[in-house]
Structures are given as C-alpha cells and as structure tokens.
Amino acid sequence: MRDDWFAACNERSPKGALNPRAIYGDVLDVGAGCGILGLLLKRDFKSINLSLLEIQERNLEILRLNSLQNDLPAEILHADFTEFKSEKRFDFIVSNPPFYRERISLSKEPHMALSKSAASLNLRDFVRSANAHLKPGGTLIFCYEAGKLAKICELLGEFRLNLTRLGFVYPDISKPAKLALLQARKNSRSPCEITLPIYASAHGRRTAQAQAIYKSADLTSVDYE
C-alpha cells in the first residue's frame, strides 16, 4: 500500500501530492521489491535512466518480469544498499524503505520481515548511503513513519541533505498522520514546502483523493503471495 501512496510523487498525481516538478537523469529505486515505484516513474518520465536496487535475490526475477511486461526498461542491481558500491552518482534516489520496528513486524515470514523491518536497513545507514550516491544537488525522495520526523530531520542535516518538501498521509480524516512523504536535496538551502495532506478515507470510506492516487498507480505487476 505504501507504494501506492508513494505514487503520489509523480506529476500526474492530484494536487497536494509530494511531486517534484520533474524527474530526470539517473534514478535509483532503493529496496525496489517488485519494482512498482521505480517503474511508475519510468512510465511517467520516459527519458530517465532507471536502476532498481534490491537486496533479496528472490525478488530479482519479479523485477525483470514486471519491467518486461510493462515495456519499461531498467537496470536491475542485486546489493545491500549499506554496502552498495558504484562509480555512478544519481540525480534522484527514491525509496519506500522498511521502517517497522522488529518487535511489531507485521509478518514472521523471513522474506516479508526483511522487506518491512527497520532492522534490515536502519534510518541512519539509509540516509548516509543515499548522500554518498547522490550527485551534487541531487534529490532524495522517500516515505517514512511520521512519528520519526524529528530523527529524520536530524539525520538529513548531519549528512547535508536539506528537507525541501514534506507531506503527510492520514489513514482517516479523524486520525493522526501515519506516513510522511519527504523530499531532500543535497547541498541545498531552499526552504521547506509543506504540501496539502493526503487522506486515505473519511469515516471509513475511501476518499476521492485516495481513489485518484490508486488509479494513477495502476500498473501490470506480479509479486510473491
């Protein structure tokens, strides 16, 4: 579901989404999973050079299949982001990183636990590695648990990434935000823009805003059950 919300980062999404004015150049999707996030960007910004980075070997064939089925070419990389080595630097790094605490992981199945648990890629290592692989002036776009915002800002500052756009996803109009959508630029001094909120539902019924996001994220894909 977070990939669907994160589809809000592209220009076709409704007003209020976390959308940079353009995605261009070399783009790295970290922890690509089944590839939906990166492939949606390739669909909407066809000129980008897309790389999909995934730690789990089990996901690599799915990445290849989804890329092929949608006729969206991408370089597929098998590596742990904390140990990833490349002479190439990226204009954009995008990610839907794992952030669930291990003790409240939603699955005991090892494949799902690795995908969801922050123990597999902690926030500090994620920000540090992102900074190391961005070009000067490059942009990091990711989502994370909203309650970790203070820690996120602290780490972005430590690694000279300036928060330039911030939005929140609310599970319902009557409930606090659970998810933060963040955009940060390397060596930037731009002020932070707070985007309009995204509400998943209103009193238990999916909002028109959420429906539009799900529709924009429609892509032929397969995943492990």
First to last CA, the chain: 14
Which pLDDT band, with edges at 50, 70 and 90, does 11 fall under?
Answer: very low
Higher per-residue pLDDT: 6 or 56: 56
Strands (E), the chain: 26-30, 49-54, 75-78, 90-95, 134-145, 161-170, 179-186, 193-194, 198-199, 201-202, 205-206
Domains with residue ranges and CATH for the chain: 2-216 (3.40.50.150)
41: enclosing H helix or E strand: helix 36-44
Phi and psi angles of residue 222, each rounded to the nearest 5 degrees, phi first: -125, 155
∠ CA 42-70-72, nearest 5°, is 35
pTM for the complete prediction?
0.85
Residue 167 backbone phi and psi in degrees, to 5 = -140, 165
pLDDT tens, 21-34?
Answer: 589 999 999 999 99
Q: Is 74 helix (H, G, I), strand (E, B) or coil?
A: coil
Q: Give residues with Cβ within 8 angstroms of 63, minimum separation 6.
A: 32, 34, 35, 52, 54, 74, 76
Give the pLDDT score at 115.
47
* Structure tokens that stand for 111 in this block: 């494949």
pLDDT digits (tens, 9 = 90+) for 171-223: 999 999 999 999 999 999 999 999 999 999 999 999 999 998 888 877 777 66
Residue 223's pLDDT is what? Answer: 65
Q: For residue range 59-108, what is the model confidence (pLDDT) as tens digits?
A: 999 999 999 999 999 999 999 999 999 999 999 999 999 876 555 445 55
Give the closest residue to 10 by CA, choosing from 33, 30, 31, 40. 40
